[in-house]
């Protein structure tokens, strides 16, 4: 194998059902107001408004997912090193027909 850097991009799509938007928003607001969030007062107010007014819960869920949780997908694999992670959360029409199939895979 050559010494050239090789990169792989992993794609993951996960559909979740929001069972309680108000509770999801409350949990996200707690994170927004946490002093460790390192936000200015203006940013904190803006983010709190975004979380509170998003009736889908997407903004709240985005706030609750820790970037390190995403990196855990590959952290245990010594042969790779995570270089970049992006996360997006958006409303969905629900599970696709494909989601009804068994997606287990053999290692």
Q: What is the pLDDT of residues 13-44, one digit of tens each?
A: 889 999 999 999 999 999 999 999 899 999 99
| pLDDT above 70 coverage of the chain, percent | 88
Tell me what the mean pLDDT of segment 84-101 comes to: 78
Nearest to 69 by CA among 56, 82, 52: 82
What is the C-alpha to C-alpha distance for residues 90 and 14, in angstroms, rounded to an integer?
Answer: 11
Whole-angstrom Cα distance, residue 77 to residue 4?
A: 19
- What pLDDT score does 39 carry? 93
Predicted confidence band at 103 (pLDDT cuts at 50, 70, 90)? low
Kindly report the pTM of this predicted structure: 0.76
Q: Where are the domains of the chain?
A: 21-83
């Amino acid at each position: 194998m050559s010494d050239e850097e090789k990169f792989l991009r992993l794609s993951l799509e996960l559909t979740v059902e929001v069972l309680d938007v108000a509770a999801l928003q409350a949990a996200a607001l707690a994170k927004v107001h946490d002093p460790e969030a390192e936000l200015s007062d203006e940013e904190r107010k803006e983010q709190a408004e975004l979380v509170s007014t998003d009736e889908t819960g997407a903004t709240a869920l985005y706030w609750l997912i820790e970037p390190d949780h995403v990196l855990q997908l590959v952290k245990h694999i010594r042969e790779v090193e995570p270089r970049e992670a992006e996360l997006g959360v958006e409303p969905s029409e629900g599970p696709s027909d494909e989601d009804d199939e068994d997606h287990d895979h053999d290692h």
